[in-house]
Amino acid sequence: MSETPRAPALQRAPARGRVGKRTRRIAWLAPALLMLPGAALFAVVVLSSAVQSLWISLHDWDGFGGMRWVGLGNYAELWRDPAFRVSLRNNLVWFGMFMLAPPLGLALALATSQPIAGFRTMRSLFYLPLVLSSVTVGVIFSWIYVPDYGLLAQIWELWGGVAPAPLSSERWVTPAIALAALWPQVAFAMVLYMAGLTTLDAEQIGAARIEGARGWSLLWHVVLPQLRPVTLVAFAIAALGSLNSFDMVSVMTKGGPYGSSSVLAWQMFEQSISSYRMGYGAAIATVILLLSSAFITLYVRRMVRP
Amino acid sequence: MTTATAFPRPFAPGRFRARRLCALGIVLLLVLWLVPFLGIVLTSVRSIYDITSGNFWGWPRDPQMLANYREVLLGTPLGRYMLNSLLIAGVSTLGVLVLGTLCGFVLARYRFPGATLMFALFVAGNFVPYQVIMIPVRNLMVTLGLYDSMAALILFHLAFQTGFAVLFMRNFIGSLPDELFQAARAEGAGTLQTLRFVVLPLTRPALAALAILLFTFIWNDYFWAIVLTFSDGAKPVTAGLANLKGVFFSNWHLIAAATVVVAVPPVAVFLLLQRHFIGGLTMGAVKG
């Protein structure tokens, strides 16, 4: 789309005499009116809310009464809060595991990209986890992790091991939840790479093959560089997904056992909704925003660049 | 001999055995990949006897083709939740299509100061973590008297998803050939006429893809469902399912049946319209 000639500027609308002036004003008015409902709604609900949240984070507020200014007090408290540190560390685990999504997605895309009859349908069945709600995925994996009878326990027993109960183990609960969340994430990366593979430059690949490149070296030196934009988006979206890890935690453990599976998004919700500490919750939200902002910027720059 | 220019290299014609082996491998991989989902579908027709005796993975001993489904649909508010979700997702999707097309059209076809900034804000707003807008949005709905109503969810999704729709429609309308718009202008068509006679007919496939994506996104939303509603009359099906999971505790045959019911609409939409779905998703996420 970057090749499309630019739309003519509005100023170039016919401007001759009185009639021209009127036409020009109307030419400006119609597009503005068309934009108005969407832009206004988005500005009020999304953008102004984000700014308000920053403001709230500087206050002590239970959500009902008056707000009391505390400056950076909430942030100072966060710094000392052991629960916050647990959440932060768990988010790091999520982040690390989500970084597996792009390579796994690429592997699935490559494995299924052979032009064999019937593959098209099969390939799209791989995308299925993508359309499942995170609640659905959370419920499904809660059931896979059921002690003794669940799939995981059964696999363990095949090897003669003692069946683990990942959701009640403080050590394993976060990797277990993140693993469940990885399922749809890999499917998404696969969709992106599948589209990317169709845009490869055939000439370069043909030339590289004549030079004798094949297999891994062809993938690494010729194909991956061409897929760079896709890879960037896939990693950015995975990173943002790892910070937005509320749903699964809420469905599978509610942060338990003993807060050990909490993540920033969950802690924020719990502080605000269950403990009526809106200011403190808003401060956690700010931290999430700061951590996301690098990836958001990366993505926006890619989308907006002409 | 011609050199293959696709990656990975397609099989040479006639290598039937290699082809068949590869296909077999993929089928196995697919089954493995979908085991979690297939397993829950299988569990949804199990009897309580299977569940209590720990027969989660063996052949169902007393299959209940309909009993579990009847119980979750008639014995719980699941049906009501389904209706709520259908209404919320349907109305929001239609509204977002309108708002997103209008904004996307203007941003793609008119140059004015601040246009790029506006577009950047729409795109960035898409990725604002939900928690960052949670408290103000919740307060807004309380102030408007909409808290704990489907209207609150519709209004929120309408606003939030407009960001994605603008990104999507602006890119699509921007990629239409410029000659069409020049011709429309030469014919003396105004903004509304251009929209009606040039943009709308050409964007129909994009609108279909966008509608499918939006419906799925909104149907699957859980966070806003629990932030903005709590009573059965307003609660969407995702929040309802999370509740039922607690209520049913370890009656996994019922939980599984409810899970399948919740998954059916998005999965059906996906299977029926997968080309639109995948095309839309990649277009929304990658092309810029």
CA distance A139 to chain B (A): 7
Residue B120: list chain A partners with CB under 8 A: 300, 304
Residue type, A167: L
Checking if the pLDDT of A3 tops 80, the result is no
- Which tens digit of pLDDT belongs to each residue from B136-146? 999 999 999 99
Averaged over A164-186, what is the pLDDT?
A: 93
Non-local CB neighbours of A45 within 8 Å, separated by 6+ positions: B133, B137, B140, B155, B156, B159, B160
Q: How confident is the model at residue B284 (pLDDT cuts 50, 70, 90)?
A: low
Averaged over B199-215, what is the pLDDT?
A: 91
CATH class, domain B72-285, is mainly alpha
Hey, is the C-beta of B112 within 8 angstroms of any chain A C-beta?
yes
Averaged over B264-286, what is the pLDDT?
A: 81
Report the distance separating Cα B22 and Cα B4, nearest Å.
18
Q: How confident is the model at residue A5 (pLDDT cuts 50, 70, 90)?
A: very low
Q: How many CB atoms lie within 10 A of CB A274?
A: 10
Averaged over B21-44, what is the pLDDT?
A: 91
Averaged over A191-196, what is the pLDDT?
A: 90
- The rounded percent of chain B whose pLDDT value lies above 90 is 59
Rg (CA), chain B: 24
Task: Check CB contact under 8 Å for A131 and B288.
Answer: no
Residue B8 confidence (pLDDT): 80
Residue A35: list chain B partners with CB under 8 A: 102-103, 106-107
**Is B257 exposed, middle or buried, given 0-12, 13-18 or 19+ CB atoms closer than 10 A?**
buried
Residue A190 confidence (pLDDT): 94
CA distance B259 to chain A (A): 6
Residue A149: list chain B partners with CB under 8 A: 54, 56
Residue B34 confidence (pLDDT): 95
Q: Where are the domains of chain B?
A: 16-63, 72-285
Length of chain B: 288
Hey, is the C-beta of B153 within 8 angstroms of any chain A C-beta?
no
Dihedral (Cα; B118, B161, B94, B89), 10-degree rounding: -170
Top-confidence range, A92-96, A294-298, B57-61? A92-96
Residue type, B6: A
**Shortest CB distance from B192 goes to which of A30, A135, A284?**
A30
CA distance B201 to chain A (A): 18
SS3 category, B194: helix
- Which tens digit of pLDDT belongs to each residue from B212-226? 999 999 999 999 999
Residues 69-88 of chain B whose Cβ lies under 8 A from any Cβ of chain A: none
Which residue bears the tokens 């068309």? Answer: A34
Checking if the pLDDT of B3 tops 70, the result is no
What pTM does this model have? Answer: 0.90
Hey, is the C-beta of B143 within 8 angstroms of any chain A C-beta?
no
Paired tokens of A193:
């790479």
- The rounded percent of chain B whose pLDDT value lies above 70 is 97
Top-confidence range, A12-16, A48-52, A63-67? A48-52
8 Å CB contact between B286 and A194: no
Smallest CA–CA distance from A13 into chain B, residue? B185
Which residue bears the tokens 């400006």? Answer: A28
Report the distance separating Cα A177 and Cα B26, nearest Å.
27
Hey, is the C-beta of B209 within 8 angstroms of any chain A C-beta?
no
Hey, is the C-beta of B168 within 8 angstroms of any chain A C-beta?
no
Checking if the pLDDT of B150 tops 60, the result is yes
Hey, is the C-beta of B257 within 8 angstroms of any chain A C-beta?
no
CA distance A227 to chain B (A): 11
Residue-wise burial string across A35-45, b where 16 or more C-beta atoms lie within 10 A, e elsewhere: bebbbebbbeb
- Give A305 or B178, the one with higher predicted confidence: B178
Smallest CA–CA distance from B170 into chain A, residue? A1
Report the distance separating Cα A208 and Cα A160, nearest Å.
49
Checking if the pLDDT of A63 tops 60, the result is yes
**Shortest CB distance from A9 goes to which of B99, B111, B128?**
B111
CA distance B246 to chain A (A): 9
Report the distance separating Cα A222 and Cα A218, nearest Å.
5
Averaged over B260-281, what is the pLDDT?
A: 87
Q: Which of A100-109, B52-61, B195-204, B278-287 has the lowest mean pLDDT?
A: B278-287
Residue A67 confidence (pLDDT): 92
Q: Where are the domains of chain A?
A: 10-56, 73-304
Top-confidence range, A214-223, A253-262, B270-279? A253-262
Q: Which residues pair with A68 in a beta bridge?
A: A60
**Shortest CB distance from A114 goes to which of B10, B34, B156?**
B10
- Give B282 or B196, the one with higher predicted confidence: B196
What ipTM does the predicted assembly reach?
A: 0.91
Averaged over B54-79, what is the pLDDT?
A: 87
Q: How confident is the model at residue A264 (pLDDT cuts 50, 70, 90)?
A: very high
Residue A205 confidence (pLDDT): 86
Task: Check CB contact under 8 Å for B137 and A45.
Answer: yes
Residue B160 confidence (pLDDT): 96
Residue A23 confidence (pLDDT): 54
Q: How many CB atoms lie within 10 A of CB B113?
A: 8
Averaged over A196-225, what is the pLDDT?
A: 86
Top-confidence range, A21-30, B153-162, B165-174, B179-188? B153-162
Residue A25 confidence (pLDDT): 56
Residue B57 confidence (pLDDT): 79
Checking if the pLDDT of B287 tops 70, the result is no
CA distance A171 to chain B (A): 23
Hey, is the C-beta of B123 within 8 angstroms of any chain A C-beta?
yes
- Give A140 or A121, the one with higher predicted confidence: A140
Averaged over A19-40, what is the pLDDT?
A: 76
CA distance A233 to chain B (A): 7
Checking if the pLDDT of A214 tops 70, the result is yes
Task: Check CB contact under 8 Å for A302 and B111.
Answer: no
Domain A73-304 fold: MetI-like fold (1.10.3720)
